[in-house]
Structure 1
Amino acid sequence: MAVTLRDVAHALGVSHTTVSNAYNRPAKLSEQLRRRILDTAAEMGYQGPDPLAAGLVRRQAGALGVLFDEDLAHALTDPAALLFLQGVARAGQASALGLTLLPAPRTTEDLAARSALVDGFLVYSVAAGNPGFLAALRRDIPLVVVDEPAPPNGDDWMFLGVDDRGGAELAARHLLELGHRRIGVLVDRLTPGDRQGPADPERLAATTYQVARERLTGYLAPLPEHPWIWECGGGTPEHAVPATRALLASGVTGVLAMTDELARGVLRTAATMGVAVPRDLSVIGFDDIPEASRTDPPLTTVRQPLADKGVLAVEVLTGARSAGVRLPTHLVTRATTAPAPR
C-alpha cells in the first residue's frame, strides 16, 4: 500500500496540513521542521503530495463534493444553504468544476464520502465527530470545512467561518439598548437529533454544534440576566411554533432567533396569537436571507455573507485563497425591533 501524506504526519506526530506545508507553503515552517518532514517522508517512501492535493491542478473527477449534515432535501430548500450553494456553484463553474451533493449521515453505515468520485470536499456545518466528515477527512484529498467543526489545533484542516459570536453579541446588545430584559433565545439544535424543549445548563454544556455554542456565547455575553433558551429540534419556521408559544407565555418581550427561518416562525406565531411586532415583541434573526427583508414587518437580523462564503470556500479549496479566515457579521436593523413595552 502506498504511503500517504497522513502516514507521514502520523509518524511525526504533526497534522497533515503541516506536512503539506513542507511541500506547498515552506515559508510557514521553520527550516528545521521542514527538513525533518522531508527526510522522514523520503525514508518512508513518500513521493510528495499529488498535484491534485496541491490545489486541484490535475483534476481526475472534475467535481467537488459538498458534504451536508442535514438531508439533501433540506440543503435544497433551506435559504441559507441555497445561497451558500449558489456561491459554490458560481466559483466552481469558473474553475470548470461540477458539484456532487453528499449527505453526512450520523451513523457509520452508507457513508457516501468514502467512495464519492470527487477531487476535494467542502464540508458544510457538520457536528464534530460526524462519521461522514471523518470518512472524508481520511480520503487524503483537499478538504475545506465551512462554519464547523473548526480545527482544534488550528491547522488540522483548512477552515472558513464567520464571526458568529460577535454577530450574536451585536443582536443581544441591540435588545438591551431598547430596554428589553425578559429575553428568549431560540436555537435550532444543540446536538444532532430532533430534541425540543427548554435548555438547562446541563443541556447547554452538552452542545456539540460549534456554531450554536459560539452564537449562544455571544448572546449571553452582554445580558445581565440569563435568558430563556429553547431548543427547537430543527431549523424551519414550523419548528419555532412551540418554542414561541412557550416563550410568549413566560412573558418575554424580545426573542433572539439563531436563524432567520426560526425568526420567521416567531413572527407567524406571534401574529396568530395577536401579539404585535414590534410593539409587544421584538425579534432578531441571524443570516439575512432574502426573505428577511420581505417579512411583515421586515426582519432585523445579523447579516453574514452567505453566497460570498461559498465562493471563498472554493477559492480556499483550490489554493487561490488562504484558509483560517473568519468573515465579518453585522447587524441589519429593520422593523421588528422597538423599545420594550412598558
Structure 2
Amino acid sequence: MTERPTLQTVAAYVGVSRSTVSNAYARPDQLSPALRDRILDAARQLGYPGPNPTARSLRRGRAGAIGVLFTSNLSYAVTDPFALRFLRGMAAATEQRDTSLLLIPLPADRDVAVRALDNAAVDGFCVYCGSDTHWALAAIRARGLPIVATSPLDGAGPTEHHVGIDEAAATTRLGEHLAGHGHRRIGVVADGVFPTARPTAPVDLAGPQQAHYASTRGRLTGIRDAFTAAGVPWSHLAVVATAGNDRRDGQHAAALLLDRPQPPTAILALTDVLALGVLDTLAARGLRAGVDVSVTGFDDIDQAAAADLTTIRQPAEDKGRIAAELLLDPPADGHRRQVVLPTEMITRPSTGPAPRS
C-alpha cells in the first residue's frame, strides 16, 4: 500500500524545508508567489491535502470555534424557533471575530458523548439549556476551557459565566395577569420536567423544584408564587409534562387538560411552541382563546403575534450574542459574570376574564 503523502514528502519533492511548505499554507506572505505556487502544485500532484486543521489550530493556541452544547438532538437546534434566534445572536458575534460555531448534541451513550466533548476543537463551550447534565459539565470542565451557560451553574468558577433571565419573575407576571382576571382553575403545560423524554402525561409534582431543568423550575416557581398569592395552592394546579417542546405535544397536553372533570379556565404553557399547540386544540374543539379558555406562552417567537398569544418576550438574540462575547472577549478582571436580561409581558387577545361557571 502506498504511504499517504505528508508535509515532509512535499518538502523533499520540492527541495525545501518543512517550515517552508508549512508557510505556503499558513503564512503565504513569507514566500514569493512563484515558490508558493510551486509548492502547492507539487502537493496536488502528490495528493497531499494540506496540514491537519486541528493540529494547526492547536499550534496557534486557538481553535477558532465555540462549542454549543445541546442536551437534545441536533434537529432541535435547527428547528426550534427560540434556539434559532439564540444561534443567530451567537453567529453575529462570532462572525465579527472570525470564529465558527460547532453544534454538539449529547447522544444517549455517555461514553460517546464524553469522547465528542473531549475531542471537540473549540476555544470554549456554551451550555444551552443543559446546566443539570452534571456528567457533561464535568467533561468540559476537565478541559479547562471557559464556559457560558443559559442557566446558573452549580459550583461555577471564575471562567464560567451565565447569561439568562429571571424566569420566576417573568411567569409570576403571567400568573398575576390571569389571577387578576379571575382565573382559579389553572392548567400548566411544561417541558423539561424530566431528564429524558417520556410520553406527555399529567404529573403530580410536590413542587417546582422536582423539575429537572433549571429554566423549567424557575418558570413553575413563578406560576406557583402568583397563584398561591391568589389563594390557589400548588396542589390545585393541573400540570401536564410534555415529551418535548413540540407543537403536537402542546396539542396533546391541552386535550388532557380539557378532558378533566373540571377543565381549566386558563392554561399556561412554558413555551410559545407548546402554547401554539394548545391553541390548535382549542380551535379544533370550537373553543375561543381568551373567551372560553385563556392561554399564555413564553418567548414571543415570531408566530406568537400572528396567533394573538399573550406571552413573555425575552431577548433571544441578545442572549446568544452576549454569550459568545463572554467566551471570545472574557472579562479583563478575571471575575465571572452573571448577566440577567430584561423580559416583558406582551398582552394579546389569547387571555381575558375567566368565564362565568
| Structure 2 residue matching 1:235: 3-state secondary structure | coil
Partners of 1:159 and 1:205 lie apart in 2 by 20
Alignment-derived partner of residue 209 in structure 1: 213
Alignment-derived partner of residue 93 in structure 1: 95
Q: By how many angstroms is 1:209 displaced?
A: 0.7
Alignment-derived partner of residue 29 in structure 1: none
Partners of 1:98 and 1:154 lie apart in 2 by 25
**Contact 1:67 1:101 (8 Å CA) reproduced:** yes
Correspondence for 2:343 among 329, 333, 337: 329
Q: By how many angstroms is 1:207 displaced?
A: 2.0
| Structure 2 residue matching 1:76: 3-state secondary structure | helix
**Contact 2:168 2:218 (8 Å CA) reproduced:** yes
**Contact 1:106 1:132 (8 Å CA) reproduced:** no
Alignment-derived partner of residue 318 in structure 1: 328
Alignment-derived partner of residue 3 in structure 1: none
Partners of 1:165 and 1:204 lie apart in 2 by 11
Provide the TM-score with structure 2 as the length reference: 0.75
Partners of 1:109 and 1:206 lie apart in 2 by 27
For residues 24-173 of structure 1, the aligned pairs below 5 Å read 60-111=62-113, 112-146=116-150, 148=151, 150-153=152-155, 155=157, 157-173=160-176
| Structure 2 residue matching 1:96: 3-state secondary structure | coil
For structure 2, which runs of at least 5 residues remain unmatched after alignment? 1-59
| Structure 2 residue matching 1:308: 3-state secondary structure | helix
Decide whether aligned partners of structure 1 residues 176 and 202 sit closer, same or farther in structure 2, where only a CA change above 3 A counts: closer
Alignment-derived partner of residue 289 in structure 2: 277
For residues 243-262 of structure 1, the aligned pairs below 5 Å read 243-250=253-260, 251-262=263-274
Decide whether aligned partners of structure 1 residues 323 and 127 sit closer, same or farther in structure 2, where only a CA change above 3 A counts: closer
CA-atom RMSD, angstroms? 1.7
Q: By how many angstroms is 1:154 displaced?
A: 5.6
Provide the TM-score with structure 1 as the length reference: 0.78
**Contact 1:239 1:265 (8 Å CA) reproduced:** yes
**Contact 1:165 1:214 (8 Å CA) reproduced:** yes
Q: By how many angstroms is 1:104 displaced?
A: 2.3
Q: By how many angstroms is 1:292 displaced?
A: 0.7
**Contact 1:107 1:131 (8 Å CA) reproduced:** no
**Contact 1:104 1:131 (8 Å CA) reproduced:** no
**Contact 2:192 2:212 (8 Å CA) reproduced:** no
- Equivalenced residue count is 281
Deviations 1:148-174 (A, max 9, x none): 2x1234646221111111101001111
Alignment-derived partner of residue 181 in structure 2: 178
